[in-house]
Structure 1
Amino acid sequence: MRPSFHPEGLSFDDVSSKSESQITQLWHLNGRCPEETIPIRRTKEEDLLRASSVANYGWNKYPQFDTTDTNKTAFSENAIVFVTGDKYYGTKATINAWKPQIQEQDEFSTSQLWILGGNATTDMNSIVAGWMKDINQTGGCNSILCSPGFVQINKEIALGGSLNPISVYAGSQYELHFLIWKDIKGRGDWWLQIGNKYLMGYWPASRFVSLSESASQIQWGGLVLNQQKNGQHTSTQMGSGHFPEEGFSKASYFTNLQIIDGSNILRFPKKSYIVADKPNCYNVTNFINNFYYGGPGRNPNCP
């Protein structure tokens, strides 16, 4: 399977980047997959033991948390930039990669882009791509285990595999480049490409209702699942774990934000908006085509 076209416009190489190198995965040290195969993250005994059943393995309710602990509540917190109001057929973005610290089991921190369509209370469809750090596998479908979801065709990148190297505070910075677009000239599938090299695969058009034609909103940024205990906010970090004001090499960032319009052209968004659920815990600054975001979670201003 191949898409019938690539959207036209700016490529990642057309936009200046401060990244020092492209990210690889740790398993590459042990070789690569042969042609006509794909890498699949090995299922371990502890992975199966954490699942409520074999049928539910890899496909968990999102977000997932322990409802038997009366001292604990769980909710997600965003720090995002978004565009809305038009018909969108994809997006392109560069994400700065970090390894945030996670406080609780079943918590996670993710930096990602969302393509959304429909109404949140009735027929919402979403496509999500990015990187995630967690202790246990939590929520949603974060791998190719939940067939018939994402169909991988690439033999170089393992979904769910560890990234290496990772950005260092006040040191070297590393990035992931994402492109998602709807193949409106072909079967209508939504395709994923990482960098200029890795065509990863596609989400079949048959999986969608409200994204069957186009998207109505695109979001970029961070999300943390906060397992709040005894009224205390989690100390799980978002991004680098530092606030946007610290800037390059200290705060996590998105850059090269582009959207795909009805003419299949990649364009910079003319106007975008920001949402930070708890800005004293995790915040975001908006500079239209690039932004910094993140935070440490619990701190004196976020008890």
Structure 2
Amino acid sequence: MPAMMDMPMLNPTLALSSLHNLAKLAHLSLLSTLDIVPGQGEHDNALDDSWSPRLATPERAPAAPWTRQDATVLPAHFNDSQTYLFTSWAKDNSGDTGCMNLDCEGFRLVSGSPIFPGDIIQPVSDIKGVRQNITIKVFKDKSSGNWWLHCGLNSDPIPVGYFPASLFSSLSVKASAIWVGGHVLSDPRVSSPPMGSGAFASDTRKAALIRDIQLIDRDGKTTLVSNKMPTTVTDDKLYSVSRIEGGKFYYGGPAA
């Protein structure tokens, strides 16, 4: 099985909103719509819809299973600066389990799906023009325990595939944390890249947006996230994130 991160060591910088306090209350999943942001040079730039016991934080527990779904720019992996539909998973944080996209047996692709993990997403948003969106829905099937991924490009999400329940232990029961937001990765020897559109969250005309954020309960009913949830920004001089209000928030920044 390929190692999870077959890339050079990169420094992560995060701008996230945490829904984990809500996720702990019930068997909750996530539905949200993201801006499809263009590449920001030879750096990694991603939007995250993610869930796990501890996800994308330095304190992530070594044994914590997790999955990740997003629209990402990842030159170290794809050798270009285009935006891709990206998935990854792991049984723990060792780097020895799981993989990206379809690089190993794990994620099961639906036959005939018009989009797949590792597929280029086009068109992308124009900071001075039209916003392009991808809607990502991830939920646990009540009967099988599989975690399904549905996606839609400027449209309602349709089935793409699923992570079998057999891949995980605690995550096969329910998610205990959910994070949405952005992160960038960069070589520690160079300046950090822009995040999102390159605009701070306060510039709502230009900043990257995640909207229509809804939690999905075990019976498939959705609830708009309308209360202000905790946020995490690892360097607020470079990036910012607004609180969730009315099911949406803004994030990003120009970096150094």
TM over 0.5: yes
Q: Percent identity?
A: 24
1:4-19 mapped onto 2 (5 Å cutoff):
none
Residue 187 of structure 2 is matched in structure 1 by 227
Q: Does the alignment pair 1:169 with 2:127? A: yes
Residue 200 of structure 2 is matched in structure 1 by 243
Contact 1:169 1:240 in 2 (8 A): yes
CA drift at 1:191: 0.4
Q: Does the alignment pair 1:133 with 2:68? A: no
Residue 114 of structure 1 is matched in structure 2 by 50
Give the TM-score normalised by structure 2. 0.80
1:1-303 mapped onto 2 (5 Å cutoff):
56=2, 59-61=3-5, 64-65=7-8, 74-85=10-21, 86=24, 87-103=26-42, 107-117=43-53, 120-137=60-77, 141-147=99-105, 149-153=106-110, 154-184=112-142, 186-195=143-152, 196-229=156-189, 233-234=191-192, 236-248=193-205, 250-269=206-225, 270-288=227-245, 289-298=247-256
Work out the CA distance in 2 between the residues paired with 1:152 and 1:114: 19
CA drift at 1:209: 1.1
Q: Deviations over 1:52-91 (max 9, x none)?
A: xxx64xx4437x425xxxxxxx321110111123234310
Residue 70 of structure 1 is matched in structure 2 by none
Work out the CA distance in 1 between the residues paired with 2:46 and 2:179: 13
Aligned residue identity for 1:223: H
CA drift at 1:109: 0.9
Equivalent residues, number: 225
Work out the CA distance in 2 between the residues paired with 1:101 and 1:282: 14
Contact 1:89 1:264 in 2 (8 A): no
Contact 1:83 1:271 in 2 (8 A): no
CA drift at 1:258: 0.8
Q: Secondary structure at the match of 2:211?
A: strand
Work out the CA distance in 2 between the residues paired with 1:263 and 1:152: 24
Q: Which runs of 4+ in 1 moved over 3 A?
A: none
Contact 2:31 2:214 in 1 (8 A): yes
Q: Deviations over 1:257-288 (max 9, x none)?
A: 11123443211234511111111112111133
Gaps of 5+ in 1: 1-54, 67-73, 299-303
Give the TM-score normalised by structure 1. 0.68
Pairwise CA RMSD: 2.2
Contact 2:228 2:244 in 1 (8 A): no
Residue 83 of structure 2 is matched in structure 1 by none
Work out the CA distance in 1 between the residues paired with 2:117 and 2:36: 15
Contact 1:100 1:237 in 2 (8 A): no
Q: Secondary structure at the match of 1:136?
A: helix
Work out the CA distance in 2 between the residues paired with 1:264 and 1:164: 30
Work out the CA distance in 2 between the residues paired with 1:281 and 1:94: 24
Work out the CA distance in 2 between the residues paired with 1:197 and 1:290: 18
Work out the CA distance in 2 between the residues paired with 1:210 and 1:167: 37
